[in-house]
Structure 1
Amino acid sequence: MPQGPLFLARAVYRRRRLRDAARLLPVFGLLLLLLPAFGEQSGNLAHTAIYLFAVWALLILAACLLAPALSRSEAEGDPETDQGPQDMGDS
């Protein structure tokens, strides 16, 4: 069984963390958008609307900040994932 390096190169590590952040952004956003539903029912509707708009705007901003970094990392390529399909059945 071939064993990879113990530590990843810095560029590979950053690309993986960017992809992880992009995958978690919708989940994090959903939790933030559902938060008022679990809060007090006697809350002010105007405050709730402002909160929802602010979360929505922050999610858009986060996606806009992640998108260029993700496209740059995809253009550079990941040497570990660009090796092509590997046979998992025969070992």
Structure 2
Amino acid sequence: MTPPAIPPTPPPRRRTEFLDRGSYRQRRLRDAARLMPVLGAVLMALPLMWPRDRPDQSLTSSGIIYLFGLWAILVVLAFVLSRLLRYGAAAAPGGDAER
């Protein structure tokens, strides 16, 4: 009696990418640009939730410094994202630069 024949193992599958790497990065950058206003609104609302020890206590000075710093960071982040999106759209072979 002969042992059952073992079927040959198929060669390992090559990993396929569903999206081009550049296209994937562009989509994630666009997602970040869409999420930034929501994140900025949530972060700007944080000073309203800061605890106060007494009713007459005001955190105006630290709140203003926080808001100005956050605003500056959001402006720089928006600038960087816009440059990355513009550069990526210009380099894309599909002619995505019109968006």
TM-score, normalised relative to structure 1: 0.72
Aligned partners of 2:93 and 2:64: how far apart in 1? Answer: 42
Structure 1: 5+ residue stretches without partners: 83-91
Partners in 2 of 1:77 and 1:11 — Cα distance? 8
Q: Is the 8 A contact 1:19 1:70 kept in 2?
A: yes
Paired residues for 1:29-48 under 5 Å: 29-41=40-52, 42-48=57-63
- Aligned ranges for residues 50-61 of structure 1 at < 5 Å? 50-61=65-76
Name the structure, 1 or 2, with higher relative contact order (CA <8 Å, separation 6+): 1
Give the number of equivalent residue pairs.
Answer: 76
Rg larger in structure:
2
Please list every run of at least 4 consecutive aligned residues from structure 1 whose deviation after the TM superposition is greater than 4 angstroms. none
Residue 74 of structure 1 corresponds to 89
Query: What RMSD in Å do the two structures reach over aligned CA positions?
Result: 2.0
What is the identity percentage for the equivalent residue pairs of Structure 1 and Structure 2? 42
Cα distance between partner residues in 2 of 1:57 and 1:28: 14
